């Protein structure tokens, strides 16, 4: 299973804002810092805002900040908000399932159990767990200089 770029960027944005809380940051500031597309971040910030994770303020002193404490934003919640689907096999797709053995096959149940366990594990952690007691990350995200390196391919 691969997570999309949207999920990677979502974690980067949330960590950036968690480290800088309660101060707001601009989309441009995050885009410059990570070296990622401003357009991608605009769409993502809008989505996370509509889900109650981020709050945005327009204007000269505006910006983006966490709408809830980092300790209340669960990792599984972020992934479910940013990933398009979790159809691990054709039998997960419902009406478009054309697999001959879907009815008697036990694979769907086992994969469903595994996916549930995966989300249970992720939901034991929050954005705060990613940033607390992590001085190297805090140093990288508190600076006004871009983090540098190959930020386009680095994983959160």
Residue 65: inside a domain: yes
Secondary structure string (H, E, C) spanning 29-41: HHHHHHCCCHHHH
Residue 69: inside a domain: yes
What is the C-alpha separation between 47 and 52, in angstroms, rounded?
Answer: 9
What is the C-alpha separation between 7 and 74, in angstroms, rounded?
Answer: 13
Residue 78: inside a domain: yes
Residue 49: inside a domain: yes
Model confidence over 19-63: pLDDT tens digits?
Answer: 999 999 999 999 999 999 999 999 999 999 999 999 999 888 789
3-class secondary-structure state, position 89: coil
As for how many domains the chain has, the answer is: 1
Per DSSP, which regions of 38-153 are E strands?
Answer: 54-57, 63-66
Residue 150: inside a domain: no
CATH classification of the domain holding 66: 1.10.10.10
What is the C-alpha separation between 60 and 147, in angstroms, rounded?
Answer: 25
Give the range of the structural domain holding residue 88, as residue numbers without chain letter: 5-142
- pLDDT of 155 reads 42
What is the C-alpha separation between 33 and 28, in angstroms, rounded?
Answer: 8
Q: Confidence class of residue 13 from pLDDT cuts 50, 70 and 90?
A: very high
Residue 149: inside a domain: no
Residue 156: inside a domain: no
Model confidence over 107-154: pLDDT tens digits?
Answer: 888 888 998 999 999 999 999 999 999 999 999 998 765 555 444 434
């Amino acid at each position: 299973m691969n997570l999309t770029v949207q999920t990677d960027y979502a974690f980067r944005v949330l960590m950036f804002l968690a480290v800088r809380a309660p101060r707001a940051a601009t989309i441009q500031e995050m885009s410059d810092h990570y070296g990622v597309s401003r357009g991608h971040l605009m769409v993502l910030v809008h989505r996370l805002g509509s889900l109650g994770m981020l709050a945005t303020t327009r204007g000269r002193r505006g910006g983006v900040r966490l709408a809830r404490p980092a300790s209340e934003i669960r990792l599984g919640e972020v992934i479910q908000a940013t990933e398009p689907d979790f159809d691990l096999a054709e039998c997960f797709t419902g009406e478009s399932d054309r697999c001959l053995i879907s009815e008697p096959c036990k694979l769907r149940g086992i994969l469903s159990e595994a996916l549930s366990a995966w989300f249970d594990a992720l939901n034991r952690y929050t954005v705060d767990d990613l940033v607390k007691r992590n001085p190297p990350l805090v140093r990288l995200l508190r600076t006004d200089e871009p983090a540098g390196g190959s930020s386009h391919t680095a994983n959160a």
